Amino acid sequence: MENMVNIKINGMPLSVPSGSTVLEAARMAGIDIPTLCYLKGINEIGACRMCVVEVKGARSLVASCVYPVNEGMEVQTNTPKIQKSRKMTLEMLLSVHNKDCLACKRSGNCEFQTLCNEMGIEDSNRFEGAMPDASTDESTLHLVRDNSKCILCRRCVAACEAQHVAVIGPNNRGFDTHIASPFERSLNEVPCVSCGQCIVVCPTGALTERDQCDEVMAAINDPEKFVVVQTAPAIRATLGECFGMPVGSNVKGKMVAALRRLGFDKVFDTDLGADLTIVEEANELLERVKNGGPLPLITSCSPGWIKFCEYYYPELLPNVSSCKSPQQMTGAVIKTWYAQQNHIDPKNIVVVSIMPCTAKKFEVKRDDEEAAGVPDVDIALTTRELARLINMAHINFARLPDEEFDPALGISTGAAAIFGATGGVMEAALRTAAEKLEGRSLDSVDYKEVRGTQSLKEAVYHVGGMDIKVAAVSGLNNADELLKKVKNGEGGYHFIEIMCCPGGCVNGGGQPIQPASVRSFTDLIGDRSKALYEEDKNLPLRKSHENPIIKMLYKEYFETPGSHKAHEVLHTSYTPRKRY
């Protein structure tokens, strides 16, 4: 039984679990103490001083995010002294902050801006004076860093460390402190994996995705271009948050309607590519199991993980599936089979993908991703960029009717829907691989052992007269621990799923930005994933190989999974990268 302690907050008696912080205890009482640097489990450093409170007996104000409760404690959270301190903190931060908020992509969704409004900051220039040198880094394909908007909260640093990459940190000291890479190198000169986790935790506009909305609208308005859009499985479970809908709302129908109103020529579902990926990947697994190929087979859907492997575990690249990601497979099918069917020159097709992932912006530029002699995908937008486009076009998202994807690349299965959740790719692949090994249709399609938000999930399944040991992991810190075992010949795994971002694509670096008050105390990953599993449960087809479009593609174009033609269009290669 959990030990409880009795405290008072603003004179109100409260019984809270022992070990809680004052911040957590206050939240239990319905009081949200403001924070800037705090992120539960990631950045608990008490540095910004926004969360200060008065504790009876303490000589000075204390940081509630790191101050533990104890029996009989009496806390005040909103006295004049506290208000004065918090306002002073905000004003001092403003004194060295770029205040051109109207031109900032985070205006209206900036935690710093929100606190200034809530605290009634009227004179933003009270401490106006010298400004630190503020650099901008636009060296990567996925991210722009503007240090003139940085408040040195260090959330991005903590997120990068949690991803086992740690390529950014505080450089210099005192007034000259700023966030950058070692030796002031640009991000494209260090082993950044493009995951974007630093962006989704940033409380200001210091870190943003490289915006490509104008490129998309230019293509749509070019009469010579046939512009096709595809949407990843996770987008339907998160886009609604950008329009005030509850976390976990499935807005697939409204999303399709919005994309059609933006002017795309065709609106297709990346879930079709996910089904195709599963059929190819399951075949690859069976070939390796039967013929002695490199095991374990490791999934290749997450471009951030692929880049991590190329940097940190190049010796394991032979283990990585050669299958392109669903984004790239869908683009490849559009520019090969679909182009031929509709007599369109692939050079005139522009494929735009809506992805939960900033690393997808990097992936579209990779080598060996040009099945038709032109890039499989031309532009990858994040969920946030799509929301920006919808707002720019003055589309009333909440009032849109539900509409269906266009044929013929709009039919998918429940197996594809769960790709966006950690363990989903593994479960989808098992549904197909198990039937291939058993040589018959199986009634049970739920592999619940690989579901859930825990960092590592393991299971052994007896199929086809043999035991198949699998593992699913998300977050690169956790992936690193698992890969160490694989590298040392431990584990005995046949198949491993790795997702770069903690929790999988539903928590990708391109997803809607939620403030720390939500990220720290709401199960974002669980609620978003639930929407995908609910869709899987309700779809008539739940196995990738039963998708009629997939069957037709093999009959008319690819012949069989793993065929020469399939390898030409649907598979790719990887290259070891030097870290420094």
What is this structure's pTM? 0.95
| Cis-peptide into 158, omega within 30 deg | no
Burial 130-147 (b: 16+ CB within 10 A, else e): eebeebebebbbbbbbbb
Per-residue 3-state assignment (H helix, E strand, C coil) for 217-285? HHHHCCCCCEEEEEECHHHHHCHHHHHCCCCCCCCHHHHHHHHHHHCCCEEEEHHHHHHHHHHHHHHHH
- Kindly report the average pLDDT of the chain as a whole number: 95
Name the more confident of 455 and 185: 185
pLDDT tens profile 39-70:
999 999 999 999 999 999 999 999 999 999 99
Half-sphere exposure of 225 toward its Cβ, with a 13 Å CA cutoff? 17
- Tally of structural domains, the chain: 3
Cβ atoms 74, 8 nearer than 8 A: yes
> Residue 187: what pLDDT?
96
- For residue 362, tell me if it sits in a domain: yes
157 contacts 169 by C-beta, under 8 angstroms = yes
Cis, bond preceding 540 (omega within 30 deg of 0) = no
- Which tens digit of pLDDT belongs to each residue from 215-259? 999 999 999 999 999 999 999 999 999 999 999 999 999 999 999
The predicted pLDDT at position 559 comes to 95
Q: Answer yes or no: is pLDDT of 125 > 90.
A: no
What does the block give as tokens for 181? 């890479």
Q: Say which CATH number the domain at 147 has.
A: 3.30.70.20
The DSSP secondary structure of 442-490, one letter per residue, reads: -S----GGG-SSSSEEEEEEEETTEEEEEEEEESHHHHHHHHHHHHTT-
Residue 454 confidence (pLDDT): 84
Which one of 92, 123, 140 terminates a domain? 92
Whether 28 and 138 map to the same domain: the answer is no
* Domain that includes residue 173, residue range: 95-209
- 280 shares a domain with 137: no
Q: Please, which pLDDT band fits residue 75 given cuts at 50, 70 and 90? A: very high
| CA–CA dist 49, 463 (Å, integer) | 57
pLDDT at residue 244, as a whole number = 95
In a domain, 55, yes or no: yes
| pLDDT given for residue 1 in this prediction | 58
pLDDT (tens digit per residue) in 493-542: 999 999 999 999 999 999 999 999 999 999 999 999 999 999 999 999 99
Encode 491-515 in three state secondary structure.
Answer: CCCCEEEEECCCCCHHHCCCCCCCC
Q: List the one residue out of 355, 257, 266, 260 whose CA is nearest residue 304.
A: 355
pLDDT over 70, % of the chain: 100
Domain end residue (candidates: 49, 68, 92)? 92
pLDDT in tens, 333-366: 999 999 999 999 999 999 999 999 999 999 999 9
**Same domain? 51 vs 104:** no
The predicted pLDDT at position 127 comes to 82
CA–CA separation, 317 vs 177, rounded Å? Answer: 38
